[in-house]
Structure 1
């Protein structure tokens, strides 16, 4: 069951009756839910259910037509992506986004941008000039900051072990698809996020790679990281999630504990259709 609006100081994200339409097609329809601090909530549903559109609304990549989005009690509806990032909302994308000509390390360092002092102040036009001067003259304080951030980035990359550390100076375009997704997650972690929005983090990964990613996400969850997850691999969802929200055709059709949602007739129907509701749970998981 979703947390009631405004009833707990532990609520980090509070989404109320959010709707988004595109040329008469409703991609997200009157969706409400909340995410508490330290919680892992997964959003699942068939292809085209509105999951990535919802993430776009929660990270500033898009703006809802109706509804209210609150983050830590603040109305952030319609905020630009950089304002979400400045509040600690970090996300990855369904189709991984890396800077191909930059090294793995530099891709991750970009994640610290929203933490820089001038960026937090949001002074238009000043940031670029100041950063250029800092790069040209590099006073001791700046060098120390660069060394500190470099150390942070390397520590984050070390979480991925042999997948990324041996490639730390390689251009991102030379990486496998799975490693690009790892770089994107590392960059999101560099923001020191208050909430991590992961859009299909195991897409394109085989069974062993998926198990590695699950282990990392369980580690982050154990450290208290708040996670909102889109994922098609149902077993990962069931292992990791405190609650699951199910979308179908833009609408929320179920929410609750993983086991309850997994056996909800409306969820089974959404994934499999009317004629296949009788399949056993293992078959349902394989299809989902």
Structure 2
């Protein structure tokens, strides 16, 4: 197994890589496309993180699709909430980055979570590569997104000894108070369809990778080039990379926090954060009052 960038080492019993016979990566080397990132697990630490990220986010995706828990969100409930947010949020976003480009139906959202179509790594993640600077609430945050790493063959990861998933590509990120992965996965590596987006973030204390404070699995929805929706167990993020002007790139995160109780989803806060390529240009965090409620 060879990488298009540089090989990741294999950790025995940590991650199952199809056809992998490479020696372990030296502990001071970073995974492919991550050389510019200081905050990255390396060597066998990265292999363990890769397996954890894949397994936890895939289990989260399965829970969304099962939809059998009254106090846990389901894919169809989220789809309805996202559509309602897309209809009602624009009145609060006048003069700010809009979300008109997120044109999709509830069925399309559920199908994306289920993995019904092939997804291009470049179209999904390419627009977010590099360094970004913004404000999250009152905190200055630097986001660093690596190049997209694509193995010659998809990487197989066993999920709790159950069915496997295969990772076609991934992108590492540092998100200000932690690190994570965006992945494009499939349940059938020989299929030309059936991709789904997985993500995972580990938050750490004071930038110290050895002191994790929280782990958050994500499931993604590819909307269009440079437009993604990321879902966690308490948040929805509509993310879009775009140009503010000919000389200033940006990406916006517009979304909401939510809670689910007795099959009812309620938003607790709605917001927008905008990041630019320039550390001295950090647009203000914007919070707006929009109370949404959907039930099943």
The TM tier, using the shorter chain, reads under 0.3
TM-score (norm 2): 0.24
TM-score (norm 1): 0.25
Q: Which structure: greater helix fraction? A: 1
Q: Which structure: greater strand fraction? A: 2
Q: For the pair shown, which has the larger CA radius of gyration, 1 or 2?
A: 1
Larger RCO (alpha carbons 8 Å, 6+ apart):
1
